[in-house]
């Protein structure tokens, strides 16, 4: 998760909300991603999607069984869908996402899919992951004053 936090900070370069994701398999990082929604003008360019794309390319496979994903923020519906499609085994996230979180906050992941079971754990380095985002919005408000 420390690596995901480090990566999340790269989003700041393009004024994107700092969110990072890392995919690990057999103790090796196979995919990383950070939020590039503003940078790429794309509603798809979430950290998780970019990390999954990289991991799939690395493994030359659209299935990533046996992989773990670490995300600084609870993933949204789209990203949970992608994580389940990719058959990632374990999902770890930091801060909860009350508005859009589709693991436990807004939606419950257990109700969302039928053909893949995933283990998950939230609140990992939660304070650090939350501060990343709250600091970003505080600075944004300051700048727009």
Instruction: Report yes or no: 93 and 19 within 8 Å, Cβ to Cβ.
Output: no
Binding mask 89-128 for its own copies (x = CB under 8 A): ----------xx-x---xx----xxxx-------------
Minimum CB separation of residue 63 from its own copies in Å reads 7
Reference 69, options 133, 134, 86; nearest CA is: 86
Question: 25: part of which helix (H) or strand (E)?
Answer: strand 20-25
Minimum CB separation of residue 41 from its own copies in Å reads 5
Q: Segment 55-74, which members bind its own copies (CB under 8 A)?
A: 56-57, 59-64
Q: Is 145 exposed, middle or buried (0-12, 13-18, 19+ CB in 10 A)?
A: exposed
- Find the largest Cα–Cα distance for the chain: 49
Residue 95 half-sphere exposure toward CB, CA atoms < 13 A: 21
Asked if 140 interacts with its own copies (CB under 8 A), we say: no
Q: Which residues pair with 76 in a beta bridge?
A: none
For 9-144, where are the alpha helices, taking DSSP H only?
Answer: 37-40, 47-59, 77-85, 126-143
Q: Stretches 1-9, 75-83, 124-132, 133-141: which one binds its own copies (CB under 8 A)?
A: 75-83
Is there a binding annotation on residue 46? Answer: yes
Comparison of 60 and 142: residue with beta carbon closer to its own copies: 60
Task: Name the 3-class secondary structure at 39.
Answer: helix
Q: Which of 48, 74, 110, 128 is catalytic?
A: 48
Q: Which residues bind its own copies (CB under 8 A)?
A: 37-38, 40-45, 49, 52-53, 56-57, 59-64, 76-82, 84-87, 99-100, 102, 106-107, 112-115
Which residues contribute to the annotated binding site for Zn(2+)?
46, 76, 79
Which residues contribute to the annotated binding site?
46, 76, 79
């Amino acid at each position: 998760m420390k690596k995901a936090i480090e990566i999340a900070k790269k989003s700041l370069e393009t004024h994107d909300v700092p969110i990072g994701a890392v995919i690990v398999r057999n103790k090796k990082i196979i995919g990383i991603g950070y939020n590039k929604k503003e940078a790429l003008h794309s509603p798809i360019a979430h950290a998780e999607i970019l990390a999954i794309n990289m991991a799939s390319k690395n493994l030359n496979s659209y299935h990533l069984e046996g992989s773990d994903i670490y995300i600084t923020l609870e993933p949204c519906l789209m990203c949970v869908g992608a994580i389940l499609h990719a058959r990632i085994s374990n999902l770890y996230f930091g801060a909860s996402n009350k508005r859009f979180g589709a693991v436990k906050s807004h939606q419950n992941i257990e109700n969302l899919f039928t053909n893949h079971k995933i283990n998950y754990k939230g609140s990992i380095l939660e304070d650090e992951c939350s501060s990343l985002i709250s600091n970003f919005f505080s600075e944004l408000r300051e700048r727009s004053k």
